[in-house]
A and B are shown apart, each in its own frame.
Chain A
Amino acid sequence: MTNTIIWTVAILTCLGLLLSLVLFWVASKFKVEEDPRIDEIEKTLPGANCGGCGFAGCRAFADAAVKAGNLDKNYCPVGGSEVMNKVAAILGCEVKESAPMVAVVRCNGSCANRPKINDYQGAESCKVKAALYGGDTGCLFGCLGCGDCVAACAFGALSMNPETGLPVVDESKCTACGKCVAACPKRIIELRAKGPRGMRVFVSCTNKDKGPVARKACSAACIGCGLCEKTCTHGAITVADNVAYIDFAKCKLCRECEAVCPTGAIHGVGFPKPLDKEAVKKRIADRKARAAEAAKAAVQPEVKKEESNG
């Protein structure tokens, strides 16, 4: 009995030693030389492998960054500047600061604003629905409501609001990886600057139809009237293809566009106080009156001058 135990222990020990030698030999023989910085960077990254940076996962990101030696083409939207600074420290290079972004749903075609004109019965997928037909509302551009974006989000930041039928972004969870942007067949979701203290103004519509058509389909549609463009003193708004767009780099958050929009397509979020439309409108009117007076004053002497010359 004792013999058996001794033999068993002895053989197993020898076998283990022998195999560990083989493993050691194989490991050293087939070792792949890799820059240790790749591992280091990979550890620093969030590790969600979401692909928001445009690379096939965090490892690929690290690999590309080390190969390039700089971070010109690499930016991790999930980790943001904090992580990027760490990565830059490992690589010993500079990182371009970029404003924190957030996904913004640019459609306000809720069930109340945008009546249904038919019932969709196909597969519950926006992609399928968009390929099949123009959608169950009169709007060809708006949210289809099947939740492809919700399914695409790896961080649980998106959810469908059953009341409006539109997706809602949870800003605290959104990492601006851009997965939802790519998943939306109507390209409604956009990554926009989060804005100072989360304040931002955007056009919540992408309808390129002419005003009356868009308005008929959805009461909250941008009708491309251009009022906002004319009002904006910062040149941040452009109207193209019957729809306005606010350049968040130029927007100064004065909310004047929001006040003048006739359909309420322009949304301001994150502001501490609700918009006092009348006050802002009065402000605009005052400014316009002053400008008109100034113009009058500027024009009159010119006319006189011309007369005298003539």
Chain B
Amino acid sequence: MAKLTFSIGGIHPADKKLAKDCKIETLPLPPKVYVSMFQHLGAMAKPVVTVGDSVKAGQIIAEPGGFISAYIHSPVSGKVTAIGPRKDLAGFNQMHIEIEVQGDEWAEGIDLSPELVTAIPEDRDFILDRIKMNGVVGLGGATFPTHVKLNPPPGKTADCLILNGAECEPFLTSDFRILLERTDEIVVGAAIMQKVLGGCPCVIGIEENKPEAIEAVRASVNRLGYPGIRVATLRKRYPQGGEKQLIDAVMHRQVRSGGLPIDVGAVVQNVATSLAVYEAVQKNKPLVTNTLTVTGDVIDPARQHNYLFRIGMPLSYIAEYAGGVPEGTVKIVSGGPMMGKAIANLDAATVKGSSSILYLGSSTLRHAATPCISCGRCADACPMGLEPFLLKRLYDAQDIEALEKNAAQDCIECGCCQYSCPAYVPLLDNIRMAKAQVMGVIRARNAKK
């Protein structure tokens, strides 16, 4: 079968999947965890425990603060020692619940056995409730609450469930590892989501640079025998794993500006989310663990790791466990090198969506910007077909109207423009601001209507 890919723009950064052969290891528990109340898209969660309470692992410690929000569970058993502001990885104050770890006791009703449960519950509402109550959010980066995404508004139906195993960011290998090590569970998770969406077909998209994963998933799909699931090979190209790009590649449909994937009948979920859905529905296990890659171009191969972590573990604890910050590191990034955020505060706690600790050397330092010469490489690279150089100019001129006309709000912040700029112009930094401004104007206009 032909390799699928999206139709506009894109770049080909070097692969650098250095940790791809490192098996997932389970991290030991730290003395204290710090659970952020803001680890999903939408409203902040509200704590339901108070200082001094004893909690068990998997127990609800915070409830959704709005429709788009999620439950948060204690990742460990122990005692709540503080609730208050703590700095997140960007250095902003965020409400955290601090829990002192005592033993490792799990709440009742959680199945911790490794046996695969393949029988899918019949009741759709039961499944959705389990996903919601177990705090599952999208683990592909945006951490959008999964139960909201799997429950399309009336009048809209899903034609296709796309499971995103592209992992197009360089360095990251956590999705690849779970695709290899927890293949069956991911496939069952996909079948569960198919069921919720009314039995639509499911495509598991994996980039061509992971042939082992493609093979393993294909074999698992055949063995488990759920109807309507197939594996698609995606071309290696960034940002293949972008939601809109993936829909374009797999379904040859494009989401209209301002629209949602469900408008074109698509639901995209990350493979890690599928695993979380499996655990939530089949095992009643809340989302308190995820996989994270410790990698980078300045550490030697022996010190690359893929870890199963509990949310709330401080990044510094994980870094220390993995052997400390390697020499030559100039930048530590959480997430991939393209879309990830530089970590300003290594003491920050991991959240549901944490995917990596990336040590980057001086080669990744930004160069001083020189004037734009309108070469148009950014426009060629933009997967949304925008003209980043123009958007930057319009933003500098504060021409909000023209920014909207030139679709600044469509930017998916993938960073292709900045990557391809020969003059090192900080395009994305500016476009992100422009996008926020345009979105503000659009929102104000919609509110008036």
Contacts and interface: CB of A to CB of B under 8 A. Distances in A.
Touch between chains A and B, by CB atoms below 8 Å: yes
Given A140-B91, A140-B92, A133 B426 contact: no
B436 A121 contact: no
Given A121-B365, A121-B366, A134 B91 contact: yes
Contacts of B430: 123, 125, 128
Given A118-B344, A121-B365, A140-B93, A134 B87 contact: yes
A179 to B, nearest CB: 13
A134 B365 CA distance: 20
A132 B90 contact: yes
Interface in B360-387: 365-366
B342 interface: yes
A122 interface: yes
Contacts of B345: 117, 134
A131 interface: yes
Interface in B217-239: none
B429 A123 contact: yes
B430 to A, nearest CB: 6
Contacts of A37: none
A209 B365 CA distance: 32
Interface in A121-139: 121-123, 125, 127-128, 131-136, 138
Contacts of B17: none
B124 to A, nearest CB: 40
Contacts of A135: 91, 344
Contacts of A136: 344
Interface in B324-348: 341-342, 344-345
Contacts of B341: 132-133
Contact of B92 (A118, A125, A133): A133
B419 to A, nearest CB: 14
Nearest to B90: A133
A138 to B, nearest CB: 8
A124 to B, nearest CB: 8
A117 B344 contact: yes
Interface string B405-438: 0000000000000000000001001101100100
Given A123-B430, A128-B429, A133 B91 contact: yes
A136 B93 CA distance: 14
Contacts of B429: 122-123, 125, 128, 132
- Taking each of A127, A128, A133, which has the highest tally of chain B beta carbons within 10 Å of its own beta carbon? A133
B337 to A, nearest CB: 13
- Taking each of A118, A131, A140, which has the highest tally of chain B beta carbons within 10 Å of its own beta carbon? A118
Contacts of B426: 122-123, 128
A134 B436 contact: no
A42 B426 CA distance: 41
Contacts of B90: 132-134
Interface in B168-217: none
A65 to B, nearest CB: 26
Interface string B79-107: 00000000100111100000000000000
A287 B413 CA distance: 62
B344 A133 contact: yes
A135 B345 CA distance: 10
B388 to A, nearest CB: 13
A134 B344 contact: yes
B433 A133 contact: no
A195 B432 CA distance: 41
Contacts of A118: 342, 344
Interface string A103-122: 00000000000000110011
A122 B91 CA distance: 15
B258 to A, nearest CB: 22
- Taking each of A121, A122, A135, A136, which has the highest tally of chain B beta carbons within 10 Å of its own beta carbon? A121
A4 B267 CA distance: 83
A135 B87 CA distance: 12
A131 to B, nearest CB: 6
A96 B430 CA distance: 42
Nearest to A208: B93
Contacts of B432: 128, 131
A118 B429 CA distance: 18
Contacts of A117: 344-345
- Taking each of B344, B365, B426, which has the highest tally of chain A beta carbons within 10 Å of its own beta carbon? B344
- Taking each of B91, B341, B426, B432, which has the highest tally of chain A beta carbons within 10 Å of its own beta carbon? B91
A128 B365 CA distance: 18
A138 B347 CA distance: 13
A118 B331 CA distance: 9
A125 B434 CA distance: 13
Contacts of B93: 140, 209
A306 B211 CA distance: 94
A133 B87 CA distance: 11
A127 B91 CA distance: 16
Nearest to B436: A131
Contacts of A140: 91-93
Contacts of B436: 131
A134 B433 contact: no
A122 B342 CA distance: 11
Nearest to B91: A134
A127 B433 contact: yes
A37 B432 CA distance: 45
Interface in A183-200: none
Given A121-B365, A128-B433, A140-B93, 18 more contacts: A117-B344, A118-B344, A121-B342, A121-B366, A122-B426, A123-B426, A123-B429, A123-B430, A125-B429, A125-B433, A128-B429, A131-B436, A132-B90, A133-B344, A134-B344, A134-B345, A135-B91, A140-B92
20 contacts: A117-B344, A118-B344, A121-B366, A122-B429, A123-B429, A127-B433, A128-B426, A128-B429, A128-B433, A131-B432, A131-B433, A132-B90, A132-B429, A133-B90, A133-B91, A134-B87, A134-B91, A134-B344, A135-B344, A140-B93
Interface of A: 117-118, 121-123, 125, 127-128, 131-136, 138, 140, 209
Q: Which 10 A-B pairs have the closest CB atoms?
A: A134-B91, A123-B426, A123-B429, A133-B90, A121-B366, A128-B429, A133-B344, A122-B429, A134-B92, A133-B91
